[in-house]
Chains A and B, each alone.
Chain A
Amino acid sequence: MVPSEGEDMDAFHVRNTYAQLELSGVKGDGYEEGVERTRARVGTSRASQLNADAALADGTEKKGELDPREIQTLASVDRYGFFIIPSHDRLVRLDSAPLLKQLSRTRGGLSLRLAKLTVLPSLPPSPKPIRENTRIAKWTRMMKPVLRDQGGNTQAWSIRSSKESKLRERAYKGIPDCWRSAAWDLLMCRYASAGPRETATLVNDYREALDKPSTYDIQIDLDVPRTISGHIMFRTRYGAGQRSLFHVLHSFSLRCNKCGYVQGMGPIAATLLNYFEPERVYAALVRLHDVYSLHTVFSPGFPGLLEAIYVQERIMETMMPDVYAAMQKHIISTTSYATKWYITLFANSVPFQTQLRLWDVFLFEGYDVFIAVAIAIVWVYREQITGSSANFETVLSLLSSFFVPEDENALLFWIEKTLGDKKLRANMRQWREDWKNLVATGKDTTALL
């Protein structure tokens, strides 16, 4: 590899390192920590050179017997590939009881007696999805291959027309994990009105971009090893998962001049890498960017984030005026707790399995899902937010927490009901228009909490 004209030498070093290691691989991928080569600008001392050389794989890595440490790691991962549960500063339970009541205008004197806030000492294991085998069978009957490669592997799927009407409900019940890759691809293609031909073009774009320099390479390299590092695929420095993540983010940073690379894209790409090869993750990111509103979310100034927050605040104001008033009283701006939610699509704010469930419906419904999740959280904790002992610190600490649903299904069912409300959806569309008008007339700066 040679540097491109005008490419920063440190950036080239990063890009070149990932490219070289893609050829050789690294030792102990999946169970060793690996050796840092780029991030801390490791010096060129003799010792560090020897270290780096020793960590290169020699081609026999995945051919012999499994290393005992590899067996140990493999034995300790959960069903999604996490071997350590990431530590979170504050874990709180998202109670189900409030979710039994549909979103409706409430003011003070709640009819429902709410449980006290439950703080969890550690993240409990995710519950096994209910009736999983039945659901797998249903999805198997519903999904139809439309394109196969030469080896007979399905490249694209569609829904049997007789099952069309079931799709929404089944997405809300949770896509069985073994069907997630196929179903997510299908949902994204439907939403984008795209098919295998468009995917093939994007796969080609991905490969071409790999050979071009990106001014974001150094930043991407800083973020790669700290993105879901408790996951077996992303554990080893420069292991296959980290290389894929780097390459996807690199190519995607060249896709849109306005967006480039933004911190927050990493957890999204890493989640997708659990289900697709890198080139198809790139294609998925392009679809999220083009048709699922992420272009406006990631553009400078985060206009799509502010729009979502405006819509969230209008829902709070109309449905939970006491909550809205409490936020005003305590001077809590919505950006101070919800920015992370809207930019990372709830990666790192809820357990991984819950995040997948939210994405199942996001890919069906679109970005409004995340506004509904934000509203659900505020709805569940409305008593804590409006209580007499609430203050700036208690409310903000609570809303900055990691939320563990008491029952994922209760949360998803509540979101389904909320987004199924046609009047609310029409209002949400209107509020989006209102926000655009506020921006156009320069009145947006004072329109948010």
Chain B
Amino acid sequence: MSNKQYQFKLVLLGESAVGKSSLVLRFVKDQFDDYRESTIGAAFLTQTVTLEDQTTVKFEIWDTAGQERYKSLAPMYYRNANCAVVVYDITQTASLEKARTWIRELQRQADPSIVIALCGNKLDLAARRQVSQEEAKKYADEEGLMWMETSAKTGEGVAEVFTAIAKKLPLTALPSRAGAGRTAAGARAGVDLNKQAANHGQNEPCNC
């Protein structure tokens, strides 16, 4: 029997230009653009992490647009999400406020079992820091969120965010064949892809 594989839906939320797409680009392709194009609507990507026990967790990532106007589209991306990374920019106090708004919305509207990570990005600009670690950590503790700081530019902390989320997700296999978090039934836990493949009697090759 090979090692277990799980699949989860992850959504990135946060104010415009805090570095959501840059975090994903670093995580998925280990690259960085100083001026990454603004995301329109949302972008879909996938990436897999392997945990110490050789369990693999595949993230279906929805990287959303940050501008307020696009907020009306956000629910379709966080609906049924298993986990969310809410990003702020440590050099912009207002971006933490926006992150709090997103977290309140997730707590009200998203799946109750959603795992939320609060992520302070642009750690490479720590010299211009406006949001202290104490303040952010205190807030995260109060709300029961994971919290960490990252730099998409240097790569610091980026893989750790996703690994930490993967470890915190309930790795319980579902008997159903539902895709990760796309149906009400699939919303609560990851899907054991081995079982899924066994049920289908085939491996689904990626043709992209």
Identify the A interface with B (CB < 8 A): 39-43, 86-87, 89-90, 92, 116-117, 119, 219, 222-223, 225-227, 229, 260, 262-264, 266-267, 300-302, 330-331, 333, 335-337, 339-340, 343-344, 348, 384, 387, 389-394, 396-398, 400-401
Contact = CB atoms under 8 A, between A and B. Distances in A.
Contacts of A41: 91-92, 128
8 contacts: A87-B31, A219-B16, A226-B38, A262-B69, A301-B72, A335-B76, A336-B42, A348-B37
B29 A89 contact: yes
Contacts of A331: 179, 182-183
Given A40-B128, A262-B69, A393 B40 contact: no
Contacts of B43: 89, 400
B1 interface: no
B42 A263 contact: no
Nearest to A36: B34
Say what secondary structure dominates the interface of chain B: loop
Given A226-B36, A263-B70, A398-B208, 7 more contacts: A119-B208, A263-B16, A330-B179, A331-B179, A336-B41, A339-B41, A397-B44
Interface in B154-208: 179, 182-183, 202, 204-208
Contacts of A391: 179, 204
A300 B72 CA distance: 8
A387 B202 CA distance: 14
Contacts of B91: 40-41
A389 B205 contact: yes
A117 B182 contact: no
A89 B61 CA distance: 14
B37 A397 contact: no
B65 interface: yes
Contacts of B35: 225-226, 229
A348 B73 CA distance: 20
B90 to A, nearest CB: 11
Interface of B: 16-17, 28-29, 31, 33, 35-46, 60, 65, 67, 69-70, 72-73, 76, 91-92, 125, 128, 179, 182-183, 202, 204-208
Given A219-B16, A331-B179, A340 B41 contact: yes
**Among all A-B residue pairs, the 8 with the closest Cβ atoms:** A339-B41, A226-B35, A397-B208, A222-B17, A340-B40, A263-B67, A263-B38, A331-B182
Given A262-B67, A263-B40, A339-B41, A393 B73 contact: no
A227 B33 CA distance: 12
B45 A343 contact: no
A339 B73 contact: yes
A222 B16 contact: yes
Contacts of B70: 263
B152 to A, nearest CB: 14
Nearest to B77: A336
Given A40-B128, A43-B128, A263-B65, A384 B207 contact: yes
* Contact residues of A: prevailing secondary structure: loop
Contact of B46 (A225, A227, A393): A393
Contacts of B72: 300-302
Q: Interface centre among A41, A42, A331, A393, by most B CB within 10 Å?
A: A393
A116 B207 CA distance: 9
Contact of A266 (B16, B38, B92, B205): B38
B41 A343 contact: yes
A262 B43 CA distance: 17
Given A266-B38, A331-B183, A389 B44 contact: no
B208 A339 contact: no
B40 A89 contact: no
B76 A344 contact: no
A137 to B, nearest CB: 38
A396 B31 contact: no
Nearest to A401: B208
Contact of B206 (A40, A302, A340, A393): A393
Contacts of A219: 16, 67
Given A89-B45, A336-B44, A392 B38 contact: no
A399 B45 CA distance: 12
A308 to B, nearest CB: 13
A282 to B, nearest CB: 20
A389 B205 CA distance: 7
A337 B208 CA distance: 15
Nearest to B89: A40
A362 B190 CA distance: 44
B40 A87 contact: no
B40 A397 contact: no
Nearest to A88: B37
Contacts of B41: 335-336, 339-340, 343
Contacts of A40: 91, 125, 128
Contacts of A400: 43-44
Query: Most A CB atoms within 10 A — which of B16, B41, B91?
Result: B41
Nearest to B72: A301
Contacts of B76: 333, 335-336
A41 B17 CA distance: 13
A301 B74 CA distance: 11
A89 B67 CA distance: 22
Contacts of A223: 16-17, 38
B136 to A, nearest CB: 18
B38 A394 contact: no
